[in-house]
Amino acid sequence: MLEILHRIVQEVNSSPDLGEALDVIVKRVKQAVAVDVCSVYLTDFERRTHVLRATNGLRQEAVGKVGLPLHRGLVGLVCERAEPINLDDAPSHPRYLFMTESGEVLYHGFLGVPIIQNRRVLGVLVVRQRKPRKFDDGEVSFLFTLAAQLAGAITHAKASGELISLQESLETPARFLQGRPSASGVAVGKVVVAYRMADLSVVPDRESDDPQGDIDLFRGAVARVEEDLKQLQARMNETLPAEELALFDALLLMLGGDSLVGQTVDRIRSGEWVQTALHHTIEEHARVFDKMDDIYLRERASDIRDLGRRILMRLQTDTPDEIEHPDRTILVGEELSAVDLVEVPKDKLAAIVSASGSASSHVAILARGIGVPAIMGVEDLPVGRVDGWDAIVDGYRGRIYLSPEPSVCMEYERLVEEDLEFGRELEAVGRQPSETTDGIQVPLHLNTGLISEMGAVGLTEAAGVGLYRTELPFMIRDRFPGEAVQIANYRKVLETFAPRPVVLRTLDIGGDKPLPYFPVSESNPFLGWRGIRISLDHPEIFLTQVRAMLLAASGLDNLQIMLPMITTISEVDELVGLIQRALSELLEEGHEVADPPVGVMVEVPALVYQIETLARKVDFISIGTNDLTQYLLAVDRNNPRVAELYNDMHPAVLRALMTVVEGAHRFGRPVSVCGEMAGNPLATILLLGMGVDTLSMSAGSLLKVKWVIRSVSRTRARELLQSVLRIEDARQIREFLEDVLKQIGLSGLVRPGR
Ligand code: PEP
Ligand code: MG
């Protein structure tokens, strides 16, 4: 049975559309269970019917036409109960409904199982037998397992199918796909799909049936890649330092030299298919470098593989030379990353939509930083089919409308207008100090990560940078940036904000921030080799970074260094020791560098319980609520399936924050919050009440949070916090805080997603 199940699932997954997928199911299930009829009904809650979408045994003409009323018949019962119903004599059941349109004769044996995805019934899979038949346990679990396995595939195919008919007929207005609201705002634009580069490792071994044709194809692809690289080099000329640009020269040299190209051509001549020949040549070359001891030379292996991927991509597709991004690009992808985002010219990026990920994924955080609406976790999005479509992105409600109706467009134009109005209201707050009504100053800092983000709002309003994520500049390069590149990068941030403080966080890669040139493969990346753990195992990377930070701050003295993902106190001791070592080496070398304040991020729950020991050892504490929430609640911050559970206003998170603030204050250490919670105006009152000293957030949140701070007193915030601590559930806490904001006249902030 298991093998049959696997085969069916495979066949369904490779079906081009919903219709074929369902035809496969009904045909194969009918054979496997030896029944007279197998049908699939899909439930349309809007029209309150279960529509017959595929059958093997009933009349084919009924498909798509026959609809069973939502709450009637046995199919209705399976849907209501959301569990299987197994009857040997269906007609004697009170809910039995006899339908003639589908050519039904009297069937006695009945087994119906619900198809469920994310707690929602999508439809019902039914088998029937003329003779009375009670299906045995094995048969029930076979159908049950099949339905569960297929729910995902059906959801996806269903979405595509619906979207295609929507494209053609536009009969149903306002159809949208739902995801997680991840950065507020509305955008109307055109979809551009971000594809992953071709994967060499999956190229099969095949023989060429036209070697000369393959050689021509290959030479053509090489010439195109050469052209691509030259264009890319010219485009990056102004933004990348000379050291980085040299990479393009190295790649071009490899392409121009005879060994890569010559060997591939030889392989094709000896009978290998062009893609196979490329795969083998690239692997052979890369393996030579893989074995080298020198870290720099080892990295050349990834350069070679990168080159291979580029050629393969050219061979596999006839993609145009460069994606032309339309003026209002809505970037869509299966799993968008920070790198995909920065590849779109900033003035053309209108919104981002990702099939996976959630509001706490780094790409979403980045989108908030540059003020671009974002929706994450749109699981039903048929990414492969929507390139070039018109779309509306509603970042407040997490909706993407594909090929929207004119009436929907009008509604959204109104919303854009409202947003502008709201922005003007906020502008007035910008010039005022960030101070409560009883005169407590709460400096607001900026979270940032890319120099290109600068120039947006917040540059003048922010009292400093509370979190500079140094891994983002590492992510958009092809190798570890050297000391000089890092100095230039950090200097720019430090200089832009001087004399205001800038907190540079040491490298926090791993988790959902992999480096393309430093692959780490783990089954549990968020619990694995991440952040400071990598720095401790690679002191050379850490020391280079710290040296660059100290040198960049020379003469400015506004640098603060922050350590992420600390779990134990001894890690702090070791890292502070390394920072001191870098400092004394630089002083010995004759540089004018100063000893910076060093702080730790509290984002691993263990530290909450050691806060006092920690506080004694460092100059400041910054709470990373994004990770703290994920680790306290055991909810992956990137997983849309459990995103409902991810809530930084969970009572346990609030209590953890209070413990940290109180513990750090006992030793006179200031506390900042730099997770996304700091930029959520609903949470502002709670953080104020706890006595958090500074808040650090994306540029887009600064004015909203300041508006809240200027509207309450610290005393009132403390009282409200006490009331919130009596509430047991995060959802109720949110409702309570929404009411509070309305009462103090800030209802403009209460719209979903704001
Ligand atoms: C956090 O975890 O809250 C944080 C600010 O760090 P990051 O989001 O970069 O993991
Ligand atoms: Mg973190």
Residues of the chain where predicted confidence (pLDDT) is lower than 50: 162-174, 318-321, 452-455
Distance CA 479, CA 494 (A): 23
**Cβ of residue 696 lying under 6 Å from some atom of ligand 1:** no
What is the whole-number distance in angstroms between the Cα of residue 721 and the centre of ligand 1? Answer: 24
Ligand 1 atom at shortest distance from the alpha carbon of 467: 5
User: Is residue 625 lining ligand 1, measured as CB closer than 6 Å?
Assistant: yes
Pick from 709, 54, 106: nearest CA to 435: 709
Give me the amino acid identity at 18: L
Which residue ranges does the chain devote to CATH 3.20.20.60? 466-596, 598-754
Ligand 1 pocket: which of 337, 474, 507, 603 to mutate (most atoms <8 Å of CB)?
603
Q: Whose CA is nearest to atom 1 of ligand 1?
A: 624
Closest CA to 13 of 4, 21, 5: 21
Residue among 467, 562, 627, 637 whose CB has most ligand 1 atoms within 8 A, to mutate: 627
Q: What are the backbone angles phi and psi of residue 208, rounded to the nearest 5°? A: -85, 135
Residues 6+ apart with CB under 8 A from 584: none
Name the segment(s) of the chain with CATH classification 3.50.30.10. 177-194+323-423
Report the nearest atom of ligand 1 relative to the CA of 511. 10
Alpha-carbon gap, residue 589 to 196, rounded angstroms: 45
Judge contact between 242 and 170, C-beta under 8 A: no
**Residue range(s) occupied by CATH 1.10.274.10 in the chain:** 200-316
**pLDDT at res. 49:** 86
d(CA 653, CA 628): 8
Question: Residue 508 in contact with residue 564, Cβ under 8 Å?
Answer: yes
Q: Domain 466-596 carries which CATH code?
A: 3.20.20.60
Say what the pLDDT of residue 170 is. 31
pLDDT recorded at residue 583: 97
Cα(559) to ligand 1 centroid in Å equals 19
Mutation choice for ligand 1 from 674, 694, 698, CB with most ligand atoms inside 8 A: 674
**504 pairs with which residues across the strands?**
468, 561
Q: What is the CATH number of domain 598-754?
A: 3.20.20.60
Instruction: Look at the alpha carbons of 742, 745, 749, 751 in this order and tell me if their dihedral is positive or negative.
Output: positive
Identify the pLDDT of residue 710: 95
Q: Is the dihedral of CA 17, 22, 23, 27 positive or negative?
A: positive
445 lines ligand 1 (CB under 6 A): no
Active site residue 362: yes
For helices 681-690 and 714-725, what crossing angle results, to 10°? 100
- Measured from the CA of 531, which atom of ligand 1 is nearest? 10
Tell me the CA–centroid distance for residue 361 and ligand 1, in Å: 9
Is position 409 annotated as part of the catalytic site?
A: no
Q: Of 50, 79, 650, 674, which residue is the catalytic one?
A: 674
pLDDT at 198: 65
**Domain covering 2-166, topology:** Beta-Lactamase (3.30.450)
pLDDT of res. 173: 39
pLDDT of residue 551: 97
Q: Is there an atom of ligand 1 within 6 Å of 369 CB?
A: no
Three-state SS across 456-491? CCCCCCCCCEEEEECHHHHHCCCCCCCHHHHHHHHH
Taking the C-alpha atoms of residue 467 and residue 449, their distance in angstroms, rounded to an integer, is 8
What is 200-316's CATH number, 1.10.274.10, 3.40.20.10, 1.10.357.10, 3.40.50.150? 1.10.274.10
Q: Which of 625, 626, 632, 698 to mutate to test the pocket of ligand 1 (most atoms within 8 A of CB)?
A: 626
Cα 463 from Cα 295, distance rounded (Å): 40
Q: Is the distance from CB of 38 to CB of 52 less than 8 angstroms?
A: no
Q: Is the Cβ atom of 453 under 6 angstroms away from ligand 1?
A: no
pLDDT for the residue 362: 79
pLDDT tens for each residue of 319-346: 444 567 899 999 998 888 777 787 788 8
Q: Is the pTM of this model over 0.75?
A: no
Distances (CA, A) of 238 to 232, 234, 659: 11, 8, 48
Both tokens assigned to 576 = 């502070």
Asked if residue 563 lies in contact with residue 601, where contact means CB atoms within 8 angstroms, the answer is: yes
Domain with CATH 3.30.450.40 in the chain: 2-166
User: 């300041």: which residue's tokens?
Assistant: 706
| Active-site entry in 50, 362, 445, 665 | 362
Measured between alpha carbons, how far is 181 from 483 in angstroms, rounded to an integer?
A: 38
Which contiguous run of DSSP H or E holds residue 540?
helix 539-552
What is the 627 CA–ligand 2 centroid distance (Å)?
5
The predicted structure's pLDDT at residue 172: 39
Residue 166's pLDDT is: 34
CA atoms lying within 13 Å on the CB side of residue 687: 31
Q: What is the 3-state secondary structure (H, E, C) of 185-225?
A: CEEEEEEEECCCCCCHHHCCCCECCCHHHHHHHHHHHHHHH
Which residues lie closer than 8 Å to 37 by C-beta, 6 or more apart?
30, 55, 56, 57, 58, 107, 126, 127, 128, 129
pLDDT at 588: 97
DSSP for 400-445?
Answer: EEES--HHHHHHHHHHHHHHHHHHHHHHHHHTS--B-TT--B--EE
Report whether residue 505 contacts ligand 1, using a CB cutoff of 6 Å.
Answer: no
Taking the C-alpha atoms of 81, 87, 92 and 97 in order, what is their torsion angle to the nearest 10 degrees? 50
Pick the CATH number of 177-194+323-423 from 3.40.50.460, 3.40.50.1220, 2.60.40.10, 3.50.30.10: 3.50.30.10
Q: How far apart are the CA of 334 and the centre of ligand 1, in A?
A: 23
Q: Which ligand is nearest to the CA of 466?
A: 1
Provide CB contacts within 8 A for 35, sequence distance 6+: 29, 57, 109, 127, 128, 129, 133
Query: Burial code of 429-454, b = ≥16 C-beta within 10 A, e = fewer?
Result: beeeebebeeebebbbbbbbbbbebb
